[in-house]
């Protein structure tokens, strides 16, 4: 029997669902018209997540559980209804709306990807709680509002804006990036955190890197902050 109540993967998923609940409650994404159906979907997602949390199944076994599969289906439907990209792309979005969209993207990814993180192992490793992938740095520019920060764009499974204080960061490098709750840093939204030195492996792009190349410290600190309230 496993203590799924305290598994970092489940706790981070619970935090992500809370972000979605707040977004739906506040109706903070423009262009959405199906708020009542979204409320029902988020409520169903909460029900499935509680079933997962109190399953006490080993993570690898839990990955195949019906509640995990159902949560994945629900998160996919939430994405379809909450992020209508055909409308969002044509809108002039203020800072609040852009942050809500970034949070929704992160939260849906966390919920949808739960089974893939459960199969990483039965041990309760904080790094298993989030997606970490190899990305290529596409551009680097000094942050206009903070001299010691850099605004970068990076390509992995998706394209991310990542704000960093790594002075040695260079265009073209491959680094591990932890996909974390978005934060605003001096007016710019950062969607991830670099967590490795440059990696000399093209085949790593878009994939989870080996644990031994990941710099755990700052990533673990954020995971602990997310889960402490749970």
Nearby residues of 167 by Cβ (< 8 Å), 6 or more positions away: 150
Helix (H) or strand (E) holding 8: helix 8-26
Distance of CA 89 to the CA centre of its chain: 21
CA distance 41 to 35: 10
Q: How far apart are CA 172 and CA 183, in angstroms?
A: 24
Q: pLDDT at position 148, please?
A: 86
- What is the reported pLDDT for 230? 56
Rg (CA), the chain: 18
Q: What is the pLDDT of residue 87?
A: 85
Centre a 10 Å sphere on the Cβ of residue 157 and count the other Cβ atoms it contains: 15
Q: How many CA atoms lie within 13 A of 188 on its CB side?
A: 19
Q: In the prediction, which pLDDT does 229 show?
A: 61
| pLDDT of res. 144 | 82
pLDDT tens track of the chain, all 230 residues?
899 999 999 999 999 999 999 999 999 999 898 999 999 999 999 999 999 999 999 999 999 999 999 999 999 999 999 999 888 888 889 999 999 999 999 999 999 999 999 999 999 999 999 999 999 999 999 988 767 899 999 999 999 999 999 999 999 999 999 999 999 988 889 999 999 999 999 999 999 999 999 999 999 999 999 998 65
How far apart CA 82 and CA 80 sit, in angstroms, is 6
Residues of the chain within CATH 1.20.1440.150 domain(s) are 4-127
CATH code for the part of the protein at 130-228: 2.40.50.140
**How many other C-beta atoms lie within 10 A of the C-beta of residue 40?**
13
Q: What is the pLDDT of residue 170?
A: 97
Residues of the chain with CATH 2.40.50.140: 130-228
Dihedral sign of CA atoms 166, 168, 171, 176 in order: negative
Task: State the Cα–Cα distance between residues 49 and 40, nearest whole angstrom.
Answer: 14
Q: Report the 10 Å Cβ neighbour count for 189.
A: 17
CATH class of 4-127: mainly alpha
């Amino acid at each position: 029997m496993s203590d799924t109540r305290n598994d970092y993967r489940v706790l981070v998923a619970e935090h992500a669902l809370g972000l979605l609940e707040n977004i739906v409650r506040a109706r903070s994404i423009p262009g959405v018209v199906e708020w009542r159906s979204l409320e029902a979907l988020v409520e169903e997602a909460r029900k499935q997540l509680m079933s997962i949390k109190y399953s006490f199944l080993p993570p690898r076994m839990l990955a195949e559980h019906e509640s995990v599969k159902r949560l994945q289906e629900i998160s996919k439907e939430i994405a379809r209804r909450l992020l209508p990209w055909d409308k969002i792309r044509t809108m002039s979005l203020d800072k609040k709306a852009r942050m809500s969209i970034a949070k929704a993207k992160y939260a849906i990814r966390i919920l949808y990807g739960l089974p893939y993180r459960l199969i990483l192992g039965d041990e309760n490793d904080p790094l298993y709680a989030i997606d970490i992938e190899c990305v290529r740095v596409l551009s680097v520019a000094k942050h206009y509002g903070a001299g010691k920060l850099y605004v970068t764009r990076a390509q992995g499974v998706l394209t991310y804006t990542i704000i960093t204080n790594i002075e040695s960061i260079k265009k073209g490098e491959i680094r591990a990036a932890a996909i974390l709750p978005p934060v605003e840093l001096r007016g710019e939204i950062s969607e991830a955190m670099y967590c490795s030195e440059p990696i000399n492996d093209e085949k790593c792009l878009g994939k989870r890197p080996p644990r031994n190349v990941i710099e755990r410290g700052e990533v673990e600190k954020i995971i602990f902050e997310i889960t402490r309230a749970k």
